[in-house]
Amino acid sequence: MDLTPIYLTLKLAAITTLLLLVIGLPVAWWLSRGRSFFKIALEAIITMPLVLPPSVLGFYLLLAFSPLHGIGLWLQKTFDVQFVFSFKGLVLASIIYSMPFMIGPIKSALQQLPASLSQASYSLGKSRWQTFVKVLLPNIKPSLLTAVVLTFAHTLGEFGVVLMIGGNIPGVTRVASIAVYDSVEQMDYHTANVYSLILFAITFVLVIAVFIFNKYQLKSPLE
Amino acid sequence: MISIDIEKKLKSYKGQHILQIKQQFAAGSITKIYGPSGAGKTTLLKTIAGFTEPERGKIIVNDVVWFDTESKINLPPQKRMAGFVFQDYALFPNMTVKQHLEYATTDTEWINRLLAIGKLGPFATHKPEYLSGGQQQRLAILRALAIKPKLLLMDEPFSALDPESKSALINELKTVFEELKTTVLIVTHNPQELDGLTKMEMNIS
């Protein structure tokens, strides 16, 4: 039994979640403050992967990063980086694909905190950064946890985008969801079943852990 | 000396009206501000603290220009450092009583004195959700005082206190205000409750 696809899936999900946390926190904070047309447009773009067929997203990423022209060619020439049919490409596609799951919950949680909380901190002479780290973040812990776990779980479940941009290269881009599909194509139902069961078990445990944690341990202190 | 001359649009269910304030407050004075709901009392305090901007005007505090539309000066709240007691307290749910004060100042002696003034010593390790309404309100006052502000803005600061602890606290605060030479503006619905503290008043209608 080759467990590489499972390992690849977990690695992809972990790297994606970590990078998205770094990107998502400041973006969510910025989106949570005030309204402008630009913000609404950006939020719409971030939300698009929720409703767009993954194959469409994958198709455009494939075109954009093709090493034959445009950005792909430039990246290839300047940095010797190729996103198409590589693990890096999977990470990039996953970041775009799972972005709404990270940014959505954090943004709404930040919006629900009363404005007076930040104002109180500012009046004590604290910078926006200090306020974010010491006051805002600690008070949205449940949503933060939800965002992290959902992003991780959603990346585990990717199929269309990954297939389009990564293909099905064993040990490089063949993640578990693709291995399931591939096994079924080859009538190897046993292998498909093992991969499926492992994915099912991991995601079930993750989702149930969030529910339990949010209910008993980290109930929002503002409720 | 604090000099305020501002105009700010207010929106309410009755439509729009313009809040116009032209007033001076002597340094170290205590003034109670009263007037009907929706008149703009809270907005005035928030404008002075720098949380919201007026359309036009000038705010000068102890010879420092905090806000001036003509010369386009607008100090951020962090530079104004006006002590602010919020009507909804705005306590930090993740911090204990002591951590609130430690977040504001590193002066442990001052923290201990504040805890004594607010009678919150026994509750130093409690988070706001485990405090009574009156204790939460006292913590909000102590936190604002922790930075030893030259200007203190209080929005309905005694509304949750029983008469006995109110007069005890007001007595303590009087001493602190004198010591710090703080200028204090207190918004209240009930001007009589502050008779022991000050006779100066300002009506916004």
Digit-coded pLDDT (tens) for A170-190: 888 899 999 999 999 999 999
Burial B102-122 (b: 16+ CB within 10 A, else e): ebbbeeeebbeebbebbebee
Do B103 and A123 make contact, defined as CB atoms within 8 angstroms? no
* Interchain contact A124–B (C-beta under 8 A): yes
pLDDT band at A223 (very low <50, low <70, confident <90, very high): very low
> Do the Cβ atoms of A222 and B93 come within 8 Å?
yes
Mean predicted lDDT score pLDDT of chain B: 93
Compute the average pLDDT of residues B120-128.
Answer: 96
Percent of all residues in chain B with a pLDDT value above 90, rounded to a whole number: 78
Q: What is the mean pLDDT of residues A31-41?
A: 90
State the DSSP code for A133.
I
Helices (H), chain A: 4-32, 37-51, 54-65, 70-79, 87-112, 115-123, 128-131, 141-156, 160-166, 176-185, 189-212
> Residue B195, exposed/middle/buried by CB under 10 A (0-12, 13-18, 19+)?
exposed
Q: Nearest CA of chain A to the CA of B76: how many Å?
A: 8
Q: Which residue of A has its CA nearest to B93?
A: A221
Q: Six-digit token pair at A42?
A: 């950006």
Least confident of A194-203, B120-129, B164-173: B164-173
Tell me the pLDDT tens digit for each residue of A108-151: 999 999 999 999 999 999 999 999 999 999 999 889 998 999 99
What is the distance between the alpha carbons of residues A59 and A53, in angstroms, rounded to a whole number?
10
B155 forms bridges with which residues in the sheet?
A: B187
Reading the block at residue B7, the tokens are: 């105009």
The pLDDT value given to residue B184: 96
Domains belonging to chain A, first-starting first, are 4-217 (1.10.3720.10)
The single-letter code of the amino acid at A169 is: I
Please name the residue ranges forming H helices in B30-120.
41-49, 77-80, 97-104, 108-117
In angstroms, the CA A189 to CA B107 distance is 69
- Distance between CA atoms of residues B141 and A197, nearest Å: 57
Question: Cα dihedral sign for A143, A144, A147, A149?
Answer: negative
CB contact under 8 A, B49 and A123: yes
| B32, β-bridge pairs | B186, B201
Phi, psi torsion values for B146, nearest 5 degrees = -60, -30
